[in-house]
Each structure stands twice: as C-alpha cells, then as structure tokens.
C-alpha cells in the first residue's frame, strides 16, 4: 500500500500544481492529501472514507487529518475536471506501453438501486436514470460508466451518464485526443457510420466496432474474431473495478454517486500505474522524498 500511497499523492499534487489551484493559507490538509485519502478509501476500504481517514491519521502518513465533516466538505469542493486531470496524467504514462495505439470502449452499469426500490428514492425519479443491464438481464436505476481503455486494460478516459442514454450517444461526447491512426474497438452498440467517418476525417482515429448481421460494412471473420478477443479485455477491467466496490454504493446525491464511481476508476488506475504491464514498477519517489514534499510532515 505504501507505494500506491506515494504514487497517488505525487500525481495528485502535480495535478493540483499544474492546474494552479491555490490553497488557503489556513488549511492544515492540502487538496492533494484530501484527494489521496479519497482514492485510498476506494482502493483499500471499499469507498469508506472514515476508515481511510482514521488509518492514514494513525499511521502518521497524514497526521493533520481533518474531521469527518470537514473532510467531506473539502472533498466535495473538488471539481470534476480536477479528477479528470488525474486520469489524463495517468493516461500519458499508460500511453508509453500502448505501442500499437489500440483502445477499447464499453460501458457498465452503476447501480443507485434496483428497479424494485425505485419508489424509495426521489433522486432518480426521471426516466433517464432507468437503464437495462444485459449481463444480469434486469432493469436498474442509476448511471452508466463509459470507459475507454488501452489493450493493456489501463483506463484512459471515462464518463458517467444517465443509464438510459445509449452507448453510442455517450461515446460521441468523448473528447478523443489520441495519436493519429489509433484504433478503438467496440461492440455492436457502437455502429455509427457517420461518426466513424467523422473520426477518420477530423482526427484520423479508426472506430472499429463488431458489425451487426445486417451491417452494410462487412468485416472478415478473422478480423471480427480478433476484435472480439481484444474487446473482452475491457470486461476484465470492469470486473476488477467492481471488486473494489461495496455491494451497494452509499450516496445521498447524484453528485456523490458520480464522485464515488470516479474514485473507484481512479483507484484501479493507480493500482495499474504502480505496476505497469511489463511487471516493473513505474519510477516513483522514495518515502523520504515524499515526506519532504509535504505528506506526513
């Protein structure tokens, strides 16, 4: 856990500095420390902020820990684009190991509750939050996590949208800044000829979904088999993220559910960042360098 803690703090601290987020002179706990505590909670304690808060305070890693209420207020003050910047920073490192520039896109449900409990929640009364989980063959209330990952199962881009929104409609909203001639593999839900042409023309990115039986753009059996084989890797990624989650995510607001789902994706990404596909860990600062930078003082 120590390496993961070090890496998480250093990346968060770099992002805060790069975004030029100014700290109040009176704060005892920096924004990077708040972010680190939240990500460690998702990584080690099933998203339980209180357990992570107590553990990091008792271990001396973050001795100036805020109280429960103060921590929650500071955490919810962090904007979504800051968390997105953290994933972007990790994606830059992951790109070093994705030599072929191949990516996979897919979605998975983020349950707020099952359909049977719909009347017990007022937050998700709109129909846009009603979705269908094909894997479990059941309807649910909540969001969909849309994820773009490389073929080494490293997440590079994410988006949380209402569960009713289709996969291809959400995919069109992604700001794809990949290298020219990158390939994105998807399932049958991502068949959209116009968007495929737009990506090729504007960004030289090739969207290659599995073709439907009645598709006008046929592909060979060999290429389809290879795409299906690679595309299944993202299902492994989703399984790994789900193993970090509790049986149900406790959130009293939609923003809270989005935050916790984001933290679980980042927690998985940092686990991958600490041990890249080659098996050799990324270069990280030593513990003494970490403490010199502010964490644990």
How far apart, in whole angstroms, are the C-alpha atoms of residue 19 and residue 159?
Answer: 20
Model pLDDT, residue 5? 94
Helix (H, G, I), strand (E, B) or coil at 170: helix
Q: Are residues 62 and 107 in the same domain?
A: no
Q: Please, which pLDDT band fits residue 297 given cuts at 50, 70 and 90?
A: very low
Long-range contacts of residues 192-201, Cβ cutoff 8 Å, at least 24 apart: 192/168, 193/217, 195/168, 195/171
Indicate whether 150 and 41 sit together in one domain.
no
In a domain, 108, yes or no: yes
Range of the domain at 219: 99-253
Render pLDDT for 169-210 as a digit per residue (tens, 0 to 9): 999 999 999 999 999 999 999 999 999 999 999 999 999 988
Does 27 share its domain with 141?
no
pTM (2 decimals)? 0.89
Q: Is residue 56 part of a domain?
A: yes
Tell me the per-residue pLDDT of 113-162, one tens digit each, with 9 for 90 and over: 888 777 767 778 888 999 998 888 899 999 999 999 999 999 999 999 99
Q: Are strands 183-186 and 206-209 parallel, antiparallel or unpaired?
A: parallel
Regarding whether 283 and 245 lie in a shared domain, the answer is: no
Same domain, 107 and 249: yes
Q: Are residues 59 and 114 in the same domain?
A: no
Q: Which of 158, 180, 181 is nearest to 171 (CA)?
A: 158
First to last CA, the chain: 19
Contacts of 227 (CB under 8 A, 6+ apart): 185, 208, 210, 219
Residues 75 and 162 grouped into a single domain? no
Is there a single domain that holds both residue 153 and residue 286? no
């Amino acid at each position: 856990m120590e390496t993961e803690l070090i890496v998480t703090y250093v990346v968060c601290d770099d992002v805060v500095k790069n975004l030029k987020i100014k700290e109040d002179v009176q704060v005892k706990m920096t924004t990077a420390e708040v972010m680190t505590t939240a990500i460690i909670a998702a990584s080690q304690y099933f998203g339980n902020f209180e357990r992570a808060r107590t553990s990091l305070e008792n271990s001396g890693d973050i001795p100036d820990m805020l109280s429960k209420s103060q921590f929650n207020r500071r955490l919810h003050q962090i904007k979504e684009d800051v968390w997105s910047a953290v994933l972007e920073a990790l994606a830059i490192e992951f790109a070093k190991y994705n030599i072929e520039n191949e990516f996979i896109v897919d979605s998975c449900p983020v349950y707020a509750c099952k359909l049977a409990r719909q009347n017990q929640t007022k937050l998700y009364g709109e129909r846009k939050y009603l979705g269908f989980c094909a894997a479990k063959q059941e309807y649910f209330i909540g969001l969909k996590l849309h994820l773009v990952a490389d073929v080494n199962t490293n997440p590079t881009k994410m988006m949380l949208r209402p569960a009713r929104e289709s996969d291809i409609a959400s995919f069109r909203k992604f700001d794809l800044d990949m290298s020219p001639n990158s390939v994105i593999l998807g399932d049958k839900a991502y068949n959209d000829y116009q968007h495929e042409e737009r990506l090729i023309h504007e960004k030289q990115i090739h969207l290659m979904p599995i073709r439907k039986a009645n598709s006008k753009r046929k592909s060979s059996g060999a290429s389809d088999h290879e795409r299906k084989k690679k595309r299944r890797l993202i299902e492994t990624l989703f399984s790994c993220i789900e193993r970090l989650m509790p049986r149900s995510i406790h959130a009293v607001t939609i923003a809270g559910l989005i935050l916790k789902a984001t933290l679980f994706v980042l927690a998985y990404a940092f686990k991958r960042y600490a041990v890249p596909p080659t098996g050799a860990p990324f270069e990280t600062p030593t513990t003494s360098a970490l403490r010199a930078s502010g964490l644990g003082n």
